[in-house]
Copies of this chain bind each other. A is one copy, B any other.
Amino acid sequence: MINRPVERLSAPLLADHLHDRLVEAVIFGDLPAEARLVEDSIAEQYGVSRSPVRDVLRKMEAEGLLTREGAKGLNVAPISRRDLDEVYLCRIPLEGIAAAEAAVNRSPDGVEALEAIYARMREAQQAGGVRDYFLANVAFTDAIHAAARNATLVRLLGGLSKQAQRYRYAAYTMFPHLMDLSVEGSRKIVDAIAETDADRARSVTETLIKQSWLTIRDCFHD
């Protein structure tokens, strides 16, 4: 065997670790769009068997990160403006609902968690750490989803948010000023949720995501 394992995975639930690694690799572009993925190669690289790899690849397919090329293997999903538009067409109303539900089911703990993550976002923004900002921003989104207390909604957003994160990370890298827009909008979202104002939470969320969309769109004018 020529290829040494890139990194040996630790014991508990190989598949979960592997999933995280591969998702990261796709979102951050280490695995470029259209890259071919072969079960055997991945298994060999990470020093595991094909079984967990199969599970992971199927899951990532469901998350929209991979596309199946007929009888051949899987590819990293292509990046395109068309795809971006598809994702955001769905994402806008769903994130709006999540914010509205988070406001309806508002809890002191939930708001506190949001404030904490918002603080992380501000710090990263002022430090100019694009990757740190991105990670905090993802956590912020996840916290709102969790606060919505709606398992079905979370499940659906799970099949969309990973796909969206690819575009978001790329956009933050290209247009760091997008962080300003994001911080400003997030402030409004936290306030609306804290005040239990579901309609305003929905509308500021939808507005923010629409604006982000238009900005990101400029990066991918195929």
Contacts and interface: CB of A to CB of B under 8 A. Distances in A.
Interface of A: 54-55, 58-59, 62, 64, 83, 86-87, 89-90, 93-94, 97, 101, 150-153, 155-156, 159-160, 163
Contacts of A93: 93-94, 97
A90 B158 CA distance: 13
A62 B159 contact: yes
Contacts of A54: 55
9 contacts: A58-B59, A59-B62, A62-B62, A89-B152, A89-B153, A90-B153, A90-B156, A93-B93, A159-B159
Name which of A62, A150, A152 has the most chain B CB atoms within 10 A of its CB.
Answer: A152
Contact of A152 (B87, B150, B153, B155): B87
Nearest to A152: B86
A90 B159 contact: no
Contacts of A89: 97, 101, 150, 152-153
Contacts of A101: 89
A79 to B, nearest CB: 13
